[in-house]
Amino acid sequence: MQEKSSFPITDLPNFKLKLLQWAQQFEVAICLDSHDSDSPHRRLDYLVAVDAIRTLDVHDEAKQFEALKQFQEEAQDKIFGYISYDVKNQIENLHSDNRDELNFPSMYFFEPRYVFEIKGGQCAVNRSTLEALHLLDLIEQQAIESDDCNQDLDWETHISKEEYLKSVKEIQQHIINGDVYELNFCRELSCYPKEFNALHVFNRINAKAKAPFSAFLQFGHRFVLSFSPERFIQHENGKLLSQPIKGTVGKGQNAAENQELKQVLLNDEKERAENVMIVDLVRNDFARSAIPGTVKVDELFGIYEFENIIQMISTVSATCRKDIHPLEALKNAFPMGSMTGAPKIRAMQLIEDFEVNKRGVYSGALGYIDANGNYDFNVLIRTLLYDADKKYLSLHVGGAITYDSIPEKEWNESELKAKSILNFL
């Protein structure tokens, strides 16, 4: 473990902006922001890690988790990165032949040279006191750049509304036939912006959305801007935790309307059915790694209010077996059930049939793993993906389809999720 020095920060909002702006000089940088979430399971407030000492950049699908385990075991401290949805093809006998305009690595992690962790008004730096003071001085000297990301973007949806409604009905026929109980169906929107300052866009949306699992990752010409409200999986000293989201409504005009909408969501039988099916799937995934009898549902149908939406979140926990490596438990739960459906393997096969684009990074997981094998990963939803060389900007949206789904309402929910990001642009 590296030496750490800690210093008080007086103007936190501006320091955070300066810190992430200073990080842009490096080829690789990541920011994790929990927005002072009051969750008892929170481990990080605000973290920026920069300048890769080593990287794990995997494009093929052979033995990726084995490579990740070796990379993590050789690291001196935390490593950061993501696992794309299509790593499922390594875990199960699956394939992905759909179109992929971005072609990001299927797995990318890096060990950073500099790590800045902010908590309780203090900034801890993984450097000696003298070097940390020098770095903080360089950061404070930054002049905050003006936000210049306003522009009209011509978004193309890769599945038309007509095609989407038709697919929902066909998925429901699979449900009637007993192939699946629930299926997460997504579509991609994309555009080619003339100018796109990824940092400015992230700062703007991040300040508005205030999602508890927000993240910004740049590696070379590729960018991941995630405003995720959902935790996929946390491992903390043998304890596993997952918090799947199923059930979404837009917010009202005032607190009274929001309270009413919360009750509507809580009592919605369709949303409760979606949520409990995914909770059961997570329990099953955890059971593969857990000490028998330790898998439990800590909270069922929790209703949480975010800046522009209200969502239903449940919490599942378990105690990992001693003979299971923490990353094996991660592999056993991947990909997250909230983004597949149930049963998981058949759902993933049908996803490939009905979706026209590879998900890639979308609906994968981004986070960190520390030297002790503890980790925390979000679900990569509400996420913009950008390739600066191709000038290609991508946003996926979707939702869970069940027997009770009304196709028009499913389309409207996907539109709501898209607008929760695009309106900030």
Name the residues annotated as catalytic: 230, 246
Give bridge partners of residue 312 from the DSSP assignment: 303
Q: Are strands 383-387 and 231-236 parallel, antiparallel or unpaired?
A: unpaired
**Distance (Å, rounded) from C-alpha 287 to C-alpha 226?**
29
**Distance (Å, rounded) from C-alpha 384 to C-alpha 155?**
13
For residue 287, which of 321, 237, 312, 258 has the smallest C-alpha distance?
A: 321
**Distance (Å, rounded) from C-alpha 21 to C-alpha 52?**
17
DSSP secondary-structure letter at 384?
E
DSSP assignment of 251-291 equals: --SSHHHHHHHHHHHHT-HHHHHHHHHHHHHHHHHHHTTBP
What element of type H or E holds 125? strand 122-125
Kindly report the CA angle at 225 between 384 and 183, in degrees rounded to 5? Answer: 50
**Distance (Å, rounded) from C-alpha 298 to C-alpha 314?**
8
C-beta of residue 300 within 8 angstroms of C-beta of residue 314: yes
**Distance (Å, rounded) from C-alpha 198 to C-alpha 121?**
27
For residue 158, which of 397, 379, 407 has the smallest C-alpha distance?
A: 397
For residue 100, which of 410, 352, 416 has the smallest C-alpha distance?
A: 352
**Distance (Å, rounded) from C-alpha 353 to C-alpha 46?**
39
Residues 266-275: b if buried by 16+ CB within 10 A, e if exposed: eebebbbbbb
